[in-house]
């Protein structure tokens, strides 16, 4: 079983570099300010090709969650969780909730992003706010 690996598309490198700096940055459209994820060559709202990478606030709300009881990668021993977070800027990202999990449903809980070293790279995780 291998470690997980980042998926590197044509437009992903600046995002992974921003995580190495512990400040997640996403593309922000120069023409309509839409913040998008995953990285893409054009804005899905106005089709502009002009965008800049801007750091996100690092806050958001859990919109879905799951606990995996089967191990898929050597660097994620089961059980481990995965959460979908709607960042305050709008995009939904997938990350892992660290710390004591909430009682009952996790949906609607506020989080803040943190960063950790994982399998030779820096990646984000979430902590309950």
Q: Which of 8, 22, 42, 46 binds Zn ion (CB under 5 A)?
A: 46
Reference 62, options 97, 34, 98, 103; nearest CA is 97
Q: Does 43 bind Zn ion (CB under 5 A)?
A: yes
CA distance 33 to 39: 14
C-alpha of 73 from chain center? 18
**Residue 93 near residue 87, CB atoms below 8 Å:** yes
Shortest distance, CB of residue 45 to Zn ion, whole angstroms?
5
Shortest distance, CB of residue 47 to Zn ion, whole angstroms?
7
Token pair, residue 53, equals 């990478």
Binding mask 16-35 for Zn ion (x = CB under 5 A): -------------x-xx-x-
Q: Does 57 bind Zn ion (CB under 5 A)?
A: no
Shortest distance, CB of residue 48 to Zn ion, whole angstroms?
4
**Residue 98 near residue 127, CB atoms below 8 Å:** yes
Binding site for Zn ion (CB under 5 A): 29, 31-32, 34, 43, 45-46, 48
């Amino acid at each position: 079983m291998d470690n997980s690996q980042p998926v590197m598309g044509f437009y992903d490198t600046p995002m992974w570099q921003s995580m190495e700096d512990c400040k997640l940055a996403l593309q922000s459209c120069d023409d309509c300010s839409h913040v998008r994820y995953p990285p893409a060559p054009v804005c899905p709202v106005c089709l502009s090709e002009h965008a800049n990478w801007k750091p996100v606030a690092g806050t958001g709300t859990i919109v879905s969650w799951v606990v995996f009881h089967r191990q898929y990668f050597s660097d994620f021993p089961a059980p481990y969780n995965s959460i979908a977070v709607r960042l305050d800027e709008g995009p939904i990202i997938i990350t892992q909730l660290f710390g004591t999990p909430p009682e009952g449903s996790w949906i609607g809980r506020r989080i803040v992003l943190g960063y950790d070293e994982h399998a030779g790279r820096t990646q984000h995780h979430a902590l309950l706010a």
